[in-house]
Amino acid sequence: MMDSIEPKTLQPEGAAPLEKADPAIYPPDEAVAAPTEIFEEPLVTTQEEERISIASNWTLVWWRFRKNVLAVISTVILLFLAIVVFIPDFFATMDPEETNARLAFIPVQRIHWLDEGQLKPWVPSVVGKRDPVTLAMKWTTDEAQKTYIRFFGTSWSYSVLGIFDSNIHLVSAAKADQADDDLAAQIFLLGTDRLGRDQWSRLAFATQISMTIGMISVIVSVVLGLLLGGISGYFGGWIDNIIQRLIELLQSLPTIPIWLALTAALPRTWSPEKVFFAITIILALRGWTTLGREVRGRFLSLREEDFVLAAELGGASQARIIVKHMIPTFTSHIIATSTLAIPVMIVTETSLSFLGLGMRPPAISWGVMLQEAQNIQTLALAPWLLTPGLIVIVAVLAFNLVGDGLRDAADPYSH
Amino acid sequence: MVTQIHPLIKPANDLTREPLLRVEDLKAYFFMDEGIVRAVDGVSFDVMPGKVVGIVGESGCGKSVTMKAILQILEAGAKIVNGKVTLRSRIHHGDPNSAEELIELTHLHPNSRQMRRIRGAEIALIPQEPMAAFSPVHTVGNQIMETILLHQDVSKKEARQIAIDVFRAVGISMPEQRIDSYSWQLSGGLRQRAIIAMALSCNPRLLIADEPTTAIDVTTQAQILKLLRKLQEERQTSIIFITHDLGVIAQMADEVVVMYLGMVMEKGSAMKIFKDAQHPYTQALLRSIPSVQSHPRVKLPTIAGSIAHPFNRPKGCPFHPRCTHFMRGVCDASQPHLVEVDEDHFVSCFLYSEADGTKKMTKTGAALAKEESL
Amino acid sequence: MSDGMQPLEPKAGAATKSPLLEVRHLKKYFPIYKGVLRKLVNQVRAVDDVSLFVREGETLGLVGESGCGKTTVSRCILRAIDPTSGEILFREADGRVTDLAALDRREMRRFRPQMQMIFQDPFGSLNPRMTIFEIVSEPLYVNGMRSKTEREDHVAELLRLVGLRTEYMARYPHAFSGGQRQRIGIARALALNPRLVVADEPVSALDVSVQAQVLNLMLDLQQKLNLTYLFVAHDLSVVKHISDRVCVMYVGKLVEMATTEELFQAPRHPYTAALMMAVPRPDPSSRDIIQDLPGEVASPANPPSGCYFHPRCQFATEVCRTQTPELREITPDHFVSCHRAEELHLAGIKVNQETQI
Ligand SMILES: Nc1ncnc2c1ncn2[C@@H]1O[C@H](COP(=O)(O)OP(=O)(O)O)[C@@H](O)[C@H]1O
Ligand SMILES: Nc1ncnc2c1ncn2[C@@H]1O[C@H](COP(=O)(O)OP(=O)(O)O)[C@@H](O)[C@H]1O
Ligand code: SF4
Ligand code: SF4
Ligand SMILES: [Mg+2]
Ligand SMILES: [Mg+2]
């Protein structure tokens, strides 16, 4: 049993030191090449174990994420909203800016899927009656008159991401191309507003603007946060001090008055595009601070990690250590945090626009649309004007659920 | 959770040869999304009055869960699924002359008044995490006094005096001043002594020490071990001493329980376990640890492989993938049971006959191991 | 910086091999700041004037209780942290001697391949986002081996060398047990064919039943590859098991350095002797041998005057309270920093033939 009881003999006197000049890692020495005894148990892994053992971190995150039903459902909702963001025209049934005072406050037309036992979707047509006192039109829907609808019909042409043109639309009235002014040839799936603009089509475009503002301001925040937080955490010293004080300053400013002041200062004459960019920047300006703090903290603690030291001792450059070792360890976390930041941005934009300080008509955003629903009278008269609020809630919830799901999946042991 | 107790009231000295605590076939599992962790899977042992029982095993083998199951302080998600824990409890807690009753702890509700009184007054715990034992916002003395007031019928002033006395008993100098300090003001060694003081403050008859010296250095560890031994002898307290360190167990325990993956592999007196181990795991473990008394730079015999993950515990004998005496078709087929191989010396291994504890095969087991090593 | 090396050269006859590494008067003080203005209020003397040397092909064990500065010494030697003062002389294969303490980060990169580290924590030392192949091959890649097949061959060879299957290359660290991870860490440390390997508590975090595997592996590799080890641990039995020579630290200072046999059988420093007597032995019949050392370890932020050990030393005299003892060689290859080293006769540990078997 104990054959090696004698103390280990050291190398003989004057043993030649290992050849430094030899780039080969091990000289072709028998003793070196012979494998040591393999202590490990035989390789009897099941397929399942094998699958887990070669699963990268992202795969593991995905496996944990998909167990979270709410998060998966929310992801599907967000993917759907993303499609709307990219091709709102596909969803729109008419020009969202086209006003027609005659058609104000048309109520929601509910879709019926079956017609006399057959699958033939239709909506009840709108019928107008003039109020004898106010002379305003009062619209109701009439189940007896059917406006048939069709899916993937053709209408006006639009550009898909600037790559190609299409004229296919998700839904339209069956006779849309025939008579222009015939009410039976138009559908208003979510009714119309004060100016007779189609709520459904406006919502598609509002989704595009509001989601984009949320995303872009978060992306700007992430870039700023990664950059400044990374510099702060990795280099430390006076630059860290300056960035930390800046973060503290920005975080101590009362947000709402600052936002109000900044957005109110935007010149009325600016084009919607300019306002759009200005608003994303204003939102990002404070948004990066939380992330910056977090990135800094991660860098600080990662600098102490043994595997980072091991890479340094192995000769890896600083750039390599940051890119290969540090950033990958917190990307999943950053993605989760950013996902959770998007709804904050969306709500902020919506609130500002609602107050008339963010996006302004003719631009369309969820906030701008909700502005239409500002008084009780309209609400009582046309409750469908609140649908943008519903969408905001769904989007915000979905982002939060996905963000939480991602965070739990990325860091299962944190709680 | 009905508490059905039939107190067997007997005079105190009728039971001196009876165990103070008896654990029988205890099983505690964690039910998790990923599966069931059989953390403790059939553990039995007795604690005799005034004796130190050492539970030794590598980390994750279920030592802490056993202790928590006895005290009924398992985390949510863990459940005792089988077994019986019987305590000879004094009717008047803390009173050495009190009459006794037999209580089945497994029948008590974890939060029942009786269970709460038993924890602290009859069985006290020295936890593994010294920082977690005390709250940082109250002085150490106040926390000890609180325990005393909870379990004993004394005034505040008397409680303070008791606290000072136990502080002195555990070798803390200037106890009158130290008692008013916060735990974070004490050094590691002092904090460990304060924890022992708190555990002793209500005169428990059984002390459970869960790795009490794992977080401290060897010179402090020697002080604490010496102190525990002295207190144990003076007060005749029974101790369940949990550790992964075979050296510490050899210094402390009268009886030793060797655990592996939630099961008892071997149990017996310390002398038997360290000088005449019979179970292949105990034997291999003892041979593979480096000792200050061995020759330097000598290769040690090793145990192949590593401890199985709790989710895929091997079938049959939990040690079989690493055992050099593994018998195909036997060890991986069913679980061995504890058999008495010698007086009060139990082994759970198929090398020993379940009928009479004799070695089944002539050329295997301990005999072979001994021959090999000579 | 390549002046001739005049080490604490042991007296003639003691040893014939020349040191690969010599540390002279190494100090590392960590500042303690307080308040908003970050005023310097004190310093932690984590390493306080340590001198030691490691001969080519040997294992020097570095032992001491936690917080005595072992990790700080080993990280200073590897220049993972910058020493406050002192010299770290390293002899390259061609005989040139360089003071690593005087090099900057860029200059240090030339020496990195020659000295590598094995870490304590088998979990924190492997990047969980990388496969075993990526982990072990990274040093090869950054040192210029760009061909993937070449790297794969080398990694396979390294894995075999440390007793792991080459099939494991594609796996991630989460698929391995602590002992296996430690082998992976060793393979990475060996990738660049280092001459000095600093192992900071390489088995402390492992299960007892796995420790011996890793210790045996390290002994094997040393023989095969002519490695020089600086082996840091708090466990005396582990240090004894692997070292040719051992040094003992107490509160940032080196108190004794000698060959393993001599240090354990005839310690000359009272702290070494007390430390050995405090180790619990896995032998119930040795209960009365174990002795405890009164008092507590001093704080490196506020060390006592004179000999740092004097408040706990049963042999302390007046001179111990006032004068700091220097490390000196009292018999060939036996260095002690105690005023009374010559006169004291301390009990050591006898080798137990029985436990050997
Ligand atoms: N809170 C918990 N949740 C899930 N599993 C646990 C928990 N606590 C312990 N376990 C499992 O129970 C087993 C035994 O743990 P424990 O008793 O703490 O071991 P030790 O012997 O080191 O004290 C381990 O395999 C561990 O994985
Ligand atoms: N980065 C640091 N900042 C401040 N103090 C430190 C730092 N690193 C270590 N120390 C202190 O230095 C002393 C020595 O630490 P260390 O070298 O880690 O000891 P060991 O490895 O022997 O346990 C300890 O008192 C520790 O608190
Ligand atoms: S039962 Fe079999 S596998 Fe288990 S310890 Fe005994 S001989 Fe070994
Ligand atoms: S110098 Fe004095 S106090 Fe220090 S170890 Fe020696 S005898 Fe003890
Ligand atoms: Mg435990
Ligand atoms: Mg250390």
What is the predicted pLDDT for the residue at B254? 94
The b-or-e profile of A180-219 (16+ CB within 10 A means b, else e) is eeebbbbbbbbbbbeebbbbbbbbbbbbbbbbbbbbbbbe
Question: Order of strands, edge to edge, in the sheet holding C19-34?
Answer: C39-55, C19-34, C85-91, C97-99
Q: List phi, psi (to 5°) of A68.
A: -90, 100
C-alpha B211 – ligand 5 centre gap (Å)? 7
CA distance C224 to chain A (A): 6
**Overall average pLDDT of the B46-60 stretch:** 93
User: Per the domain annotation, does B35 fall within a domain?
Assistant: no
Residue A59 in tokens: 């795969």
Nearest to residue B216, comparing CAs of B236, B196, B237, B238? B196
Query: C30 CB less than 6 Å from ligand 2?
Result: yes
What is the predicted pLDDT for the residue at A233? 85
For chains A and B, CB pairs below 8 A equal 29
Which of C124, C131, C195 shows the shortest C-beta gap to A307?
C124
C-alpha C47 – ligand 2 centre gap (Å)? 9
Q: In this structure, are residues B64 and B39 in contact, taking their beta carbons and an 8 Å threshold?
A: no
Nearest CA to ligand 4 atom 6: C338
Place of tokens 């932020």: C301
C-alpha C73 – ligand 6 centre gap (Å)? 9
Ligand 3, atom nearest to B324 Cα: 8
Domain limits for position B358: 277-291+317-374
- What residues in B contact A6, CB-CB < 8 Å? 298
User: Per the domain annotation, does B253 fall within a domain?
Assistant: no
Residues forming a β-bridge with C91: C97
Place of tokens 């947000």: A255
Nearest to residue B290, comparing CAs of C219, C220, C240? C240
**Over the stretch C190-217, which tens digit does the pLDDT of each residue have?**
999 999 999 999 999 998 888 999 999 9
Do B282 and B373 share a domain, yes or no? yes
Q: Do C112 and A17 touch (CB under 8 A)?
A: no
C-alpha C113 – ligand 4 centre gap (Å)? 41
CA distance A19 to chain B (A): 27
Residue by residue, DSSP assigns A98-121 as: ---GGGTTPPP---EEEETTEEEE
Ligand 3, atom nearest to B365 Cα: 7
Q: Which residue has the higher pLDDT, C208 or C291?
A: C208
What is the predicted pLDDT for the residue at C12? 43
Ligand 1, atom nearest to B259 Cα: 21
Residue B223 in tokens: 């002080």
**Over the stretch C80-125, which tens digit does the pLDDT of each residue have?**
999 999 999 999 988 889 999 999 888 898 899 999 999 999 989 9
User: Per the domain annotation, does B57 fall within a domain?
Assistant: no
Q: Which of B178, B203, B228 is the last residue of a domain?
A: B203
What is the predicted pLDDT for the residue at A178? 56
CB < 8 Å from C in window 312-331 of A = 312-317, 320, 324-325, 328-329
Residue A35 in tokens: 């494998």
Distance of CA C317 to the CA centre of its chain: 31
What is the predicted pLDDT for the residue at B360? 66
Residues of A with CB under 8 A from a CB of B: 1-2, 4-8, 39-41, 67
**Over the stretch C340-353, which tens digit does the pLDDT of each residue have?**
999 988 888 887 76
Query: C68 CB less than 6 Å from ligand 2?
Result: yes
Helix, strand, coil abundance in chain B, percent, nearest 5: 35, 25, 40
Distance CA C110, CA A77 (A): 55
What is the predicted pLDDT for the residue at B15? 54
- From B31, B56, B65, the mutation candidate for ligand 1 (largest count of ligand atoms within 8 A of CB) is B65
Residue A38 in tokens: 């393999």
**Over the stretch B219-269, which tens digit does the pLDDT of each residue have?**
889 988 998 998 899 888 999 999 999 999 999 999 999 999 999 999 999
Among residues of chain C, what percentage have pLDDT more than 90?
67
What is the predicted pLDDT for the residue at A189? 72
Nearest to residue A233, comparing CAs of A326, A341, A344? A326
User: Per the domain annotation, does B245 fall within a domain?
Assistant: no
Residues forming a β-bridge with B266: B258, B347
Distance CA C292, CA C273 (A): 11
Under-50 pLDDT residues of chain A: 1-44, 414-415
User: Per the domain annotation, does B107 fall within a domain?
Assistant: no
Q: Do B219 and C293 touch (CB under 8 A)?
A: yes
- From C44, C121, C236, C253, the mutation candidate for ligand 2 (largest count of ligand atoms within 8 A of CB) is C44
Residues ≥6 apart with Cβ < 8 Å to A7: B295, B296, B297, B298
Q: Which of B174, B203, B232 is the last residue of a domain?
A: B203
CA distance A184 to chain B (A): 56
Q: List phi, psi (to 5°) of A2.
A: -95, 70
- pTM of the entire structure? 0.83
Ligand nearest the Cα atom of residue C202: 6
Hey, is the C-beta of A309 within 8 angstroms of any chain C C-beta?
Answer: yes
pLDDT at position B13 over 70: no
Ligand 4, atom nearest to C315 Cα: 7
What is the predicted pLDDT for the residue at C1? 39
Which segment of A178-192, C46-60, C130-144, C225-239 scores lowest on mean pLDDT? Answer: A178-192
**Overall average pLDDT of the B185-212 stretch:** 88
Nearest to residue B200, comparing CAs of B129, B134, B124? B124
Ligand 4, atom nearest to C320 Cα: 2
Residue of C nearest to B300 (CA): C212
**Over the stretch C131-150, which tens digit does the pLDDT of each residue have?**
999 999 999 999 988 899 99
**Over the stretch B147-173, which tens digit does the pLDDT of each residue have?**
888 888 889 999 999 999 989 888 888
Q: Do B304 and A7 touch (CB under 8 A)?
A: no
What is the predicted pLDDT for the residue at C329? 93
Taking each helix axis from N to C end, the angle separating A272-303 and A327-354, rounded to the nearest 10 degrees, works out to: 150
C-alpha B321 – ligand 3 centre gap (Å)? 9
C-alpha B187 – ligand 2 centre gap (Å)? 16
What's the domain count of chain B? 2
- What residues in C contact B301, CB-CB < 8 Å? 212
- What residues in B contact A2, CB-CB < 8 Å? 298, 301, 373
- What residues in A contact B301, CB-CB < 8 Å? 1-2
Tell me the pLDDT band of B349, cut-offs 50, 70 and 90: very high
Nearest to residue B49, comparing CAs of B238, B304, B222? B238
**Over the stretch C258-274, which tens digit does the pLDDT of each residue have?**
999 999 999 999 999 99
Distance CA C263, CA C239 (A): 11
Which amino acid belongs to residue B173?
Answer: S
- Ligand 1 site: residues with CB under 6 angstroms? B 30, 32, 37, 39, 57, 59-65, 75, 77, 310
Distance CA B34, CA B49 (A): 41
Ligand 2, atom nearest to C66 Cα: 23
Which amino acid belongs to residue C128?
Answer: P
What is the predicted pLDDT for the residue at C239? 95
**Overall average pLDDT of the C275-279 stretch:** 91
- What residues in B contact C66, CB-CB < 8 Å? 217
What is the predicted pLDDT for the residue at A176? 57
User: Per the domain annotation, does B264 fall within a domain?
Assistant: no
Residue B330 in tokens: 């036997």
User: How many beta carbons lie within 10 A of that of residue A266, not counting itself?
Assistant: 16
Residues ≥6 apart with Cβ < 8 Å to A193: A104, A105, A199, A202, A369, A372, A382, A385
Q: Do C209 and B292 touch (CB under 8 A)?
A: no
What is the predicted pLDDT for the residue at B256? 96
Which of C16, C154, C172 shows the shortest C-beta gap to A25?
C154
Among residues of chain B, what percentage have pLDDT more than 70?
91
Chains touching C (3+ CB pairs < 8 Å): A, B
Ligand 2, atom nearest to C32 Cα: 4
pLDDT at position B48 over 90: yes
- What residues in A contact C112, CB-CB < 8 Å? 313-315
User: Per the domain annotation, does B183 fall within a domain?
Assistant: yes
Q: What ranges make up the beta strands (E) of A131-268?
A: 137-160, 164-173
Distance CA B206, CA B212 (A): 15
Q: Which residue has the higher pLDDT, A28 or B72?
A: B72
- What residues in A contact B297, CB-CB < 8 Å? 7-8
pLDDT at position C312 over 90: yes
Taking each helix axis from N to C end, the angle separating C208-225 and B280-288, rounded to the nearest 10 degrees, works out to: 40
Exposure on the CB side of residue B92, measured as CA atoms within 13 A: 9
Taking each helix axis from N to C end, the angle separating B140-151 and B113-121, rounded to the nearest 10 degrees, works out to: 120
CA distance B373 to chain C (A): 6
| B6: DSSP letter | -
Residue of B nearest to C175 (CA): B309
Residue C148, classified by CB atoms within 10 Å of its CB into exposed (0-12), middle (13-18) or buried (19+), is exposed
ipTM score assigned to the predicted complex: 0.90
Q: In this structure, are residues A233 and A362 in contact, taking their beta carbons and an 8 Å threshold?
A: no
- From B32, B40, B64, B70, the mutation candidate for ligand 1 (largest count of ligand atoms within 8 A of CB) is B64
Q: In this structure, are residues A168 and A159 in contact, taking their beta carbons and an 8 Å threshold?
A: no
Residue C233 in tokens: 């641990």
- From C305, C322, C339, the mutation candidate for ligand 4 (largest count of ligand atoms within 8 A of CB) is C339
Residues ≥6 apart with Cβ < 8 Å to A380: none
What is the predicted pLDDT for the residue at C200? 95
Residue by residue, DSSP assigns B306-371 as: -PPPGGGPPSSSTTGGG-TT--TTTTTTS---EEEEETTEEEE-TTB-TTT--BSSTTSHHHHHHH
User: Per the domain annotation, does B365 fall within a domain?
Assistant: yes
Q: Do C80 and A40 touch (CB under 8 A)?
A: no
Q: Which of B203, B235, B256 is the last residue of a domain?
A: B203
Q: In this structure, are residues C186 and C104 in contact, taking their beta carbons and an 8 Å threshold?
A: no
For chains B and C, CB pairs below 8 A equal 175
* Averaged pLDDT of chain C: 89
- What residues in B contact C219, CB-CB < 8 Å? 297, 299
User: In a mutagenesis test of the B interface, which of A36, A38, A39 is the best target, namely the one with the most B β-carbons within 10 Å?
Assistant: A39
Report which secondary-structure segment, H or E, holds C21: strand C19-34
